[in-house]
Each structure stands twice: as structure tokens, then as C-alpha cells.
Chains A and B, each alone.
Chain A
Amino acid sequence: MSVKRLAVVTVLAGAGLVLATYFAVVASPPAAAQVRPYTPPQSQKGADWTERIGELLPLGVETRAEATERVVNYKPDPVKYPVPRTPWDGKPDFSGVYWPDATIAPPPVPLESLYRPEAREYREGGGAARGLIDWRGIDTPNYHCWPPSPVNGSMGGTIQLVSAPGYLLLLNEGSSNFRIIPIVGENGRRPSAARRPSFQGSSVGHWEGDTLVIDVTNFNGKPWLGPARPPNQLPQTSSDALRIVERWSRPDAQVFEYRLVVEDQKMLTAPWTGATERRGIMPYDTVLESLCFLDPELDARHRDYAAQQAAKKGAAAR
């Protein structure tokens, strides 16, 4: 390499480093400019006001359905919106707040079709939630502060991803659950054998090109992979043999995509390929605190609602 070329390369590399540092440190997205949770006017509150929430949103705010349609129809454009890359290893930088979760390719076969017939009795009882979750009523794992299903990456509605050296972080808004995902690097990270089995499992990621592949094992056998829909859809229970391989990618700066394969030899007859999900980025750099805990007021409302539903069902039956 000639001296001139070496000088040019050095100057360009320096300028690149300065710019990368500037964008990473100084020009971070605007402080949490969140839209406040919408509360309808008192006069519009009623038993069924939540069903009309789409009509009641202020002008200019997308409903969930509108946002989902926008994200599904979006065509990633890495030329116009280049994939952001981390200054420390040049890999795709997933950092951002994302919403909503949109399915861009459905699962090839329904998860239900792969459940072992002999698991039926276990599922009827709610699996590991036997005696705790009355799935034939309106009770759900969500109400008991269980993390979101691992089939959705344990992601709730609005999530924040953070790329950090050696880690991907997943922060949930809507519950305070989080995942800390070590990425195999020079240290050859592996999940600690001392870690207790858990709802969200133990994750370890590695890069295959620009795709982050995450192997999740060491589950505690409790999560439901999908919701129950009484009377016919049984809880989609899991076992301690659950293993999930996730593939995370960033087609451009506007979205990230997520797909996965689920194995559970005690529950399923074959590995199941899940839907391909896509989420759109939002102009914030923090999710908000939103916790799940036993709130006596919420508990009372939950019980009131259950009683109302039971009364409605009773009236319909008469």
C-alpha cells in the first residue's frame, strides 16, 4: 500500500470512528418522548369502552391494528435505512424501542397439530399451573405475572432491545421482565450450569453472519407456549425438555425480525417452526416502568369482572 493510500485510509478510519462515537454517544435518540397512556373522557367510560378504544384515540395516533398493517406491509430498504452497526464489533445494532409485533409469515403448521395425544390429561389440568390457573374461566398466566410466552421470545407488547458488548438485552414494557443474553465471543461464553431452571430459560447467542442465533434451554417446565381458549383450546403447556432456537435479524434500521424453532420431546411429536414476526422501531430510547405485582385494587377489579362474566354466561344459559 502506498503512503498516500495508507494516509487516506487512516484519515477515513479516524473520521469514521469519530462519527460512530458521535452518533452512539452524543446524537442518541430524543429523550423519552412518550405518548401518555390514553384515558377516555369520563362520559365515554362504560362497561365496553375498551372495545371502542380505536375510535377514541387522539388524531395522529395509530391504533394497534393500523400499526400492525403498516409493519406487515413494510418493505425493508437497507440502502435508504442502513442497518446500524455497533462501534465495538461492527455487528448489527438491535438497540431501539419496538412496537407492535406483526406476523409476516404464519407458522407452516399450527403448534396444536404437533401436541402428543398422551399429553392431553396434563394439559387439561393446566400443566404445571394445575390448581393455580383456572384456564376455563378468564384466568391467564399473564394475570399471575408469568413472563410472556417463550414462543414470542418472552416479549410483551412494547419492548426495548439493547446491544452491548457481549450481550443482547431485552427489556419489556408492560411487565418488568427482562432477558440478558450473553453472546459467544472471544470468551466462549456458555450458560452457567449453576443457573436455576426458569420461565425464560438460559440463553446464549452466537452470530451467523448478520443473524444472531440464540439457543434457549434450561426452562422450568411451567410456561404455556400459547394461550388456552376455553372450552376447546387446551393450554399449550411445555416441559423441562423445551428448547428454542431463535434467529434475530435487522433487515434495515426501521425493523427487526424474529423467527424460531421449538423442540419439546415430552410435549410435541416434532420440532415446530413458529411464525416470522417483525416489529417496527419507535423514536424513543427508553421503555417506561410498568410492573406486574399483586395490586389489591386490580385483584378486586379482576374478581368483579369474573363475576360479571359468570353472571352474563348464566343469563345466556337461562
Chain B
Amino acid sequence: MSKRTLTLVIGAVIVGGALWVGLRRGANENSAANGTPTPVSPTSWGEPDLTGVWKGEALGASTERDSFNLTTLEGLYKPEARARMQKMSTKDDPSLRCAPPAFPRAAMLGHAVQIIQRPGFAYVFTEAYPVFRIIPTTGRPHTAEQYLYPTYMGDSTARWEGDTLVVDVNSFNGEGWLAGPLDKPTSASTGIWLTSPVMHVVERWRRIDADTLEYQARVEDPEMLTVPWETPTVTLKRQPVETIEEALCRPEDGPDTYLARLGS
């Protein structure tokens, strides 16, 4: 390659880059001025940027209002699961003894969630319970079976579908509940929302604009449910803080604290 050609190529790259940055900045300013959602800049390595502290409304269900599609979920439980639930108490909710609610239940609690990314990974922290998730975002396979063991939060792996992070979660321990003991969408509700170790969750996290993140999940659990259950789309708003609060769940705090965390 001659010196002249090289110079031309480098010049074109620099001019092109400057034009791209300029056009992008102009587009952002225009959209901010006319009230449309501000496009979100990607991370410096080119992934959609989910970084931030996010919080949604507390969701749940009573006979008057169902904001988490729990009426549908209740109707999906198999007869044998219903029989088990009839014999249990709402006091059996493992969250009442500080076991962390997994997503999607964690998304309905109305407590802040923090997401931080680095190339190849997203890390999700919850303020309701002191727990973190490590989510590979390269689409790599789940942890190999020989090293996998069942957990409350499950084993996650994710890939980007356009601007949506699609997270596949398996290897749950079957002890978590899908909603809380106070969620009773019908007069016949038990407030018990069992899961099994074969539960499989597919989550979709999507940044809508600078201040908004959307979350939606599909839950398959052939031991418990006749068909998969879809959560509604949960809207989370950006919080003007650097970090979530430290939120320990300690036995000495007593059940009142746990119930407060559950949004009662």
C-alpha cells in the first residue's frame, strides 16, 4: 500500500468517525428538545447499556387488583401442585427466613435493582435482599452439568437480541416462590406459589430510554404448571443514586422486617 493510499484511508476513518459522532450528538439533542425519548448510548465496547440503579412499583394481586398476572398463574397450577399447596402455610415462604426471592419475583417487589456491565458480563444486585447475579452475556452455554448445583437464583447465561438482553436461567433449587403470601388474586387463593427444580425462566431486559428499563419473563415449570406463565412487562425507572443501599436480611430483625421487604 502506498503512503498516499494509507493517508487517504486514515483520513477517511477520522473524518467518518467525526461525522458519525457529530450526527449522533445532533440526533440526541434534537430528540431531547422535542420531548421524544433520548436514545441511549451503547457501552464503550458496543453493547446496549443497562448500567444504573432501577426501581419499579410494588406489584402483586388482591381480589380487586392484579398487577402481576397472578390470576393467570394461579389457574396454571397442576392439580397435584394445588394439593400440595393446600397442605402448606403462607409462613412456609422461604423469603420469611431470608432466602432471596429469585427473578421474576424480585422484579415485583418495588425495591431497587442495580445493574453493572463489563465486556462479556452483566451483574445484577437487589436491594430487597443482599444477593447478586453474575450473568455472562456472550451466549456461552450454561455451567457444565458436572459443576452445576441447584440454587435460589439459578444459573444464568444471556445473549443480546438487538437491544434486548435475553437471559436463560435454570438450575433452581425448587424452594423459591413465584409470588408472596400476601398475593391472593381470588377468594380461593392460598397465597402459596410453589416452584420446582425443573423451573426454567427466560427473561428479557431492555433499555427503553435514558430513564427507563423494561423487564419481562416467561416461566416454564412442567412439574408445577400446565403451560408456561408470562409476567407482564415491568417498567423500572432510573434512580438518581450511585449505588443501592446495603440491605441485610438478619434473623434478629424478625418477620416484620421481612414482610416490609415483601411490600406488605
Q: A31-B144, A192-B242 are in contact. Are A87 and B119 (CB under 8 A)?
A: yes
Asked whether any CB of chain B lies closer than 8 Å to the CB of A235, the reply is no
Asked whether any CB of chain B lies closer than 8 Å to the CB of A309, the reply is no
Q: Is the CB of A24 within 8 A of B120?
A: yes
Q: Name the one of B99, B114, B118, B248 contacting A147, with C-beta atoms under 8 angstroms.
A: B248
> A31 to chain B: which residues have CB within 8 Å?
136, 140-141, 143-144, 147
Q: Is the CB of B120 within 8 A of A196?
A: no
> A178 to chain B: which residues have CB within 8 Å?
125, 130, 132
Q: Is the CB of A286 within 8 A of B246?
A: no
> B243 to chain A: which residues have CB within 8 Å?
180, 182, 192, 195, 202
Q: A31-B140, A145-B251, A182-B243 are in contact. Are A21 and B119 (CB under 8 A)?
A: yes
Asked whether any CB of chain A lies closer than 8 Å to the CB of B185, the reply is no
Taking the nearest CB of chain A, how far is it from the CB of B163, in angstroms? 18
Q: How far is the CA of A200 from the CA of B151 in the complex (A)?
A: 25
Taking the nearest CB of chain A, how far is it from the CB of B14, in angstroms? 10
Interface centre among A26, A160, A167, A177 (most CB of B within 10 A): A167
Asked whether any CB of chain B lies closer than 8 Å to the CB of A293, the reply is yes
Asked whether any CB of chain B lies closer than 8 Å to the CB of A266, the reply is no
Asked whether any CB of chain B lies closer than 8 Å to the CB of A291, the reply is yes
Asked whether any CB of chain B lies closer than 8 Å to the CB of A171, the reply is yes
Q: Is the CB of B242 within 8 A of A189?
A: yes
Q: Is the CB of B99 within 8 A of A291?
A: yes
Taking the nearest CB of chain B, how far is it from the CB of A216, in angstroms? 12
> A147 to chain B: which residues have CB within 8 Å?
248
Taking the nearest CB of chain A, how far is it from the CB of B243, in angstroms? 4
Interface class of chain B by DSSP: loop
Q: How far is the CA of A194 from the CA of B143 in the complex (A)?
A: 39
> A194 to chain B: which residues have CB within 8 Å?
241
Q: Is the CB of B246 within 8 A of A198?
A: yes
| Nearest chain B residue, comparing its CB with the CB of A4 | B3
Q: How far is the CA of A21 from the CA of B6 in the complex (A)?
A: 24
Per-position 1/0 for A85-107, Cβ under 8 A of B: 00110000001000000000000
Asked whether any CB of chain A lies closer than 8 Å to the CB of B191, the reply is no
- Chain A contacts to B: CB under 8 angstroms: 3-4, 6-7, 10, 21, 24-26, 28, 31-34, 36, 87-88, 95, 132, 144-147, 160, 162-165, 167, 169, 171, 176-178, 180, 182, 189, 191-192, 194-196, 198-200, 202, 285-289, 291-296
- Chain B contacts to A: CB under 8 angstroms: 3, 6-7, 10, 43-45, 51, 97-100, 114, 116-121, 123, 125, 130-132, 134, 136, 138, 140-141, 143-144, 147, 149, 151-153, 241-246, 248-252
